[in-house]
Amino acid sequence: MFFNRPRPILIKGKLWVHTTASRLGRIPRALLTADETPAEKELLYRPPTAGLRSRRVTIDERNRKEQTRCTENSPSPALLELRRKMWIHFQLPKHVAHSLVRFEGVGASMLPYLYRSPAKELAPWLLVGTIAAIAQRQEFEGIHEALHRVRMQTLYTLFSHVPYYAAFQEYCAELIIQLGNLLAPPKVLRVAVRSIFCPPSFRHFYDILKGRRVPMETACRKFWWGSLEDALDAESKKVTCSFFSQSAVSKWERVRRRS
C-alpha cells in the first residue's frame, strides 16, 4: 500500500518510501532560495515531528550566529534542509503518516524512509490471536495463505508515539477487516475491536501538515461503531472500553458454545 513496487525495499534495516511517481521530483530552485516565512521559522524552532528536526546543527546559539551571517539570498543550511524535507513530504502518498517519515542523505540525494518499532510490530499478532481464539474452531479455506500475507505486512507496519498513533490503529483495523470473513462473524469482530482498541479521540487522526483527516480513519470508525454518526455520538458521550466488555464476553461465549 505504501509503495509503487510489488515488494517494499528493505535495505540496512530501513524501509524506504517511494512516491507514486517513478522518482522524487527536484525541488524548484526558486523555493530553495526564497525568503524565510514565519511558518518555516516556527517549524525550525518547534518541529511537529522528529523527521523535521534539523540533523545538521541544533537550533541554538551557534545556528543563530550562522543565520545572521547569511544574506537574504542565502538561506541557512537548516532552512534548506527543512525545505527539501517538506518538498518530499508533499510528494509522498497521502496515507503515509508524516510522523513516521525520517530522512537520510543530504541535499538533492536526500531520501525518505519509515520509522520502525520492532517490538510494536508484534502487537497485531496478539489481536489476531485473541479473535481467532474466540472464533469458531474449524478449518477455513485459505487461512494459511492469509496469515502468511499478514505476517509479511506486519513486518513493514510502522508505529509512532501515542499522539501519532493513527498508523497503528488503521493497520490493525484493516488487518482485522481483511481477515474478518475467515475468523469470525462481523458482529463478533465489531465487539472485539471495540473492546480491544478503545478507539482514541478523533483529534489524533489529523494530518498534521495538511490539516485534514486521514481517509482510512473514517473507514475505521465506521467499522468500530457501525457508522460515522454513531462514532461521533459515542465519543461525545465518552463511551469507554469497559462499557462493551460484558457484551463482548457474552458474544464470545456464544461463539465458543456453537463451535
pLDDT tens figures, 215-226: 555 655 565 566
Q: Alpha-carbon distance 103 to 106, whole Å?
A: 9
Its sign, for the CA torsion 165, 170, 171, 177, is positive
How many structural domains comprise the chain? 2
What is the span of the domain harbouring residue 97? Answer: 9-114
Its sign, for the CA torsion 220, 221, 226, 227, is negative
Judge whether 3 lies within some domain: no
pLDDT the model gives residue 48? 79
Give the least confident one: 43-47, 75-79, 84-88, 157-161: 157-161
130 shares a domain with 254: yes
pLDDT top residue among 74 and 186: 74
Average pLDDT of the chain to the nearest whole number: 61
Nine-digit cell string for 102: 525520517
Q: What are the distances in angstroms from CA 33 to CA 12, 28, 51, 55, 66? A: 34, 9, 22, 20, 16
Judge whether 1 lies within some domain: no
- Residues 127-182 pLDDT 10s: 566 456 545 554 445 544 554 555 555 444 444 343 344 555 555 666 666 665 56
Average pLDDT over residues 39-53: 84
162 shares a domain with 73: no
Q: Alpha-carbon distance 214 to 224, whole Å?
A: 16
Judge whether 159 lies within some domain: yes
pLDDT top residue among 41 and 176: 41
pLDDT level of residue 249 (50, 70, 90 thresholds): very low
Judge whether 189 lies within some domain: yes
Residue at a domain's end among 114, 133, 163: 114
Judge whether 169 lies within some domain: yes
- At residue 26, does pLDDT exceed 70? yes
Nine-digit cell string for 127: 489481536
130 shares a domain with 98: no
124 shares a domain with 108: no
Nine-digit cell string for 229: 454518526
pLDDT the model gives residue 3? 40
- At residue 115, does pLDDT exceed 50? yes
DSSP annotation of 160 reads -
124 shares a domain with 85: no
- Pick the closest to residue 217 from 226, 229, 233, 204 (CA basis): 204
Give the least confident one: 1-5, 95-99, 220-224: 1-5
Sequence-distant (≥ 6) Cβ neighbours of residue 19 within 8 angstroms: 4, 91, 92, 93
Dihedral angle, C-alpha 78, 83, 89, 91, nearest 10 °: -150
95 shares a domain with 208: no
144 shares a domain with 90: no
156 shares a domain with 217: yes
pLDDT level of residue 5 (50, 70, 90 thresholds): very low
137 shares a domain with 104: no
Its sign, for the CA torsion 135, 139, 145, 151, is positive
Judge whether 2 lies within some domain: no
Residue at a domain's end among 80, 114, 148: 114
Q: At what angle do helices 143-155 and 123-134 cross, to 10 degrees?
A: 160
137 shares a domain with 88: no
Q: Say what the pTM is.
A: 0.45
Percent of the chain, pLDDT > 70?
Answer: 26
Judge whether 4 lies within some domain: no
